[in-house]
């Protein structure tokens, strides 16, 4: 165990939630030699999986009692109820309450007791990567923050936790709850999820409306995006430019700014403003409390978009995506 983890060497860590991040955190902490109990509802699949993985498992309230650090890794919109019902009445003074995303604390959906530490460790990768990199002896970079230091040891606990899940092997970057929350939401909405999905849908529609085959359109504006993103990920824009043709480079230079122009950036600023002033958080909280009517409608619209049907048909023949499944026998027919 590293020196950093001396801070938590004799601590009991309760991990609430056993989804993608919860499972990865819990397993990495356990393999780092730390004492972990998993807090989930009894009888569900998460309970059984955590038990099978070798953890002590308890109902959330029971897991919190006596814990020195409580990691809240349940979905954002569930966390306020979990805090009120399981954490607030049971967390001991001087213990640490840890989040992997600052949404509920920053937007005051949760107002933690003043006698506990409130900290954040957010790995910059999905749970599967957090786990697989740890198993390889490496780690995923983490950002960390201290919102409230009641014990005088909040920073040490935060760094020890980041080290325990493997972040110390890679890089840990200091932030605060405001910066982590607002940049995370903006990235998801404007670029990574909302921006990217809307961009490929618009590109697909443009080619279809011009009379091109759906299969060709899919490959050109959706499938090949992974190749470009992989180059970004590995070596930035410089590597992408190195591996594409001069023709593609020239098209990048003259047409990219025509599509993503100053008006797009202005609308991105509007998105950021809604995040910063709490409009998005209020709308999302109200939507959740109303039973997600618009969320369900928007999601179904994405699932019903023609690019999904075309993509499913094409991906079924991409045997490298399904190594244990034989490719369908029938051939694809040309459209039109």
The whole-number pLDDT of residue 333 equals 41
Torsion angles phi and psi, residue 98, rounded to 5: -115, 140
Q: C-alpha 317: how far from its chain's center?
A: 29
Which residue, 276, 74, 78, 278, is CA-closest to 183? 276
Residue 59 assigned to a binding site: no
Residue 205 assigned to a binding site: no
Q: Rounded CA gap, 240 and 200, in Å?
A: 19
| CATH number listed for the domain at residues 8-174 | 3.40.50.720
Residue 18 assigned to a binding site: yes
The whole-number pLDDT of residue 6 equals 82
Residue 109 assigned to a binding site: no
Residue 2 assigned to a binding site: no
Domain with CATH 3.40.50.720 in the chain: 8-174
Secondary structure string (H, E, C) spanning the chain: CCHHHHHHCCCEEEEECCCHHHHHHHHHHHHCCCEEEEECCCCCHHHHHHHHCCCEEECHHHHHCCCCEEEECCCHHHHHHHHHHHHCCCCCCCCEEEECCCHHHHCCCCCCCCCCEEEEEEECCCHHHHHHHHHCCCCCCEEEEEEECCCCCHHHHHHHHHHHCCHHHHCEEECCHHHHHHHHHHHHHHHHCHHHHHHHHHHHHHHHHCCCCHHHHHHHHHHCHHHHHHHHHHHHHHHHHHHCCHHHHHHHHHHHHHHCCHHHHHHHHHHHHHHHCCHHHHHHHHHHHCCCHHHHHHHHHHHHCHHHHHHHHHHCCCHHHCCCCCCCCCCCCCCC
Instruction: Give catalytic residue positions.
Output: 101
Each of the 336 residues of the chain gets a pLDDT tens digit; together they read: 344 568 999 999 999 999 999 999 999 999 999 999 999 999 889 999 999 999 999 999 999 999 999 999 999 999 999 999 999 999 999 999 999 999 999 999 999 999 999 999 999 999 999 999 999 999 999 999 999 999 999 999 999 999 999 999 999 999 999 999 999 999 999 999 999 999 999 999 999 999 999 999 999 999 999 999 999 999 999 999 999 999 999 999 999 999 999 999 999 999 999 999 999 999 999 999 999 999 999 999 999 999 999 999 999 999 999 876 544 444 444 333
Residue 209 assigned to a binding site: no
pTM of the entire predicted model: 0.91
């Amino acid at each position: 165990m590293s020196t950093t983890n001396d801070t938590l060497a004799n601590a009991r860590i309760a991990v609430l939630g056993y989804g993608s991040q919860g499972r990865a955190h819990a397993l990495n902490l356990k393999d780092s030699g730390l004492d972990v109990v998993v807090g989930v509802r009894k009888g569900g699949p998460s309970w059984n999986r955590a038990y099978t993985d070798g953890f002590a498992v308890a109902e959330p309230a029971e897991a919190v009692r006596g814990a020195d650090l409580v990691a809240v890794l349940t979905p954002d919109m569930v966390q306020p109820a979990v805090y009120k019902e399981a954490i607030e009445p049971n967390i001991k003074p001087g213990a640490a309450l840890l989040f992997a995303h600052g949404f509920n604390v920053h937007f005051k959906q949760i107002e933690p007791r003043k006698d506990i530490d409130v900290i954040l460790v957010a790995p910059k990768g999905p749970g599967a990567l957090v786990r697989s990199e740890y198993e390889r002896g490496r780690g995923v970079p983490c950002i960390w923050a201290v919102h409230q230091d009641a014990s005088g040891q909040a920073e040490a606990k935060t760094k020890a936790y980041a080290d325990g899940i493997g972040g110390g092997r890679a890089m840990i970057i200091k932030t605060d709850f405001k910066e982590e929350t607002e940049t995370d939401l903006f990235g998801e909405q404007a670029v990574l999820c909302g921006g990217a999905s809307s961009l490929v849908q618009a590109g697909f529609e443009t080619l279809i409306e011009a009379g091109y085959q759906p299969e060709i359109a899919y490959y050109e504006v959706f499938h090949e995006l992974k190749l470009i993103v992989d180059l970004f990920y590995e070596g930035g824009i410089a590597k992408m430019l190195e591996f594409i043709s001069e023709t593609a480079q020239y098209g990048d230079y003259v047409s990219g700014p025509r599509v993503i122009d100053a008006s797009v950036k202005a609308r991105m600023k509007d998105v950021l403003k809604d995040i910063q002033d709490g409009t998005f958080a209020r709308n999302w909280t109200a939507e959740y409390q109303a039973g997600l009517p618009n969320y369900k409608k928007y999601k179904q619209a994405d699932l019903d978009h023609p690019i999904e049907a075309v993509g499913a048909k094409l991906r079924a023949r991409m045997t490298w995506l399904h190594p244990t499944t034989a490719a369908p026998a029938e051939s694809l027919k040309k459209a039109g």
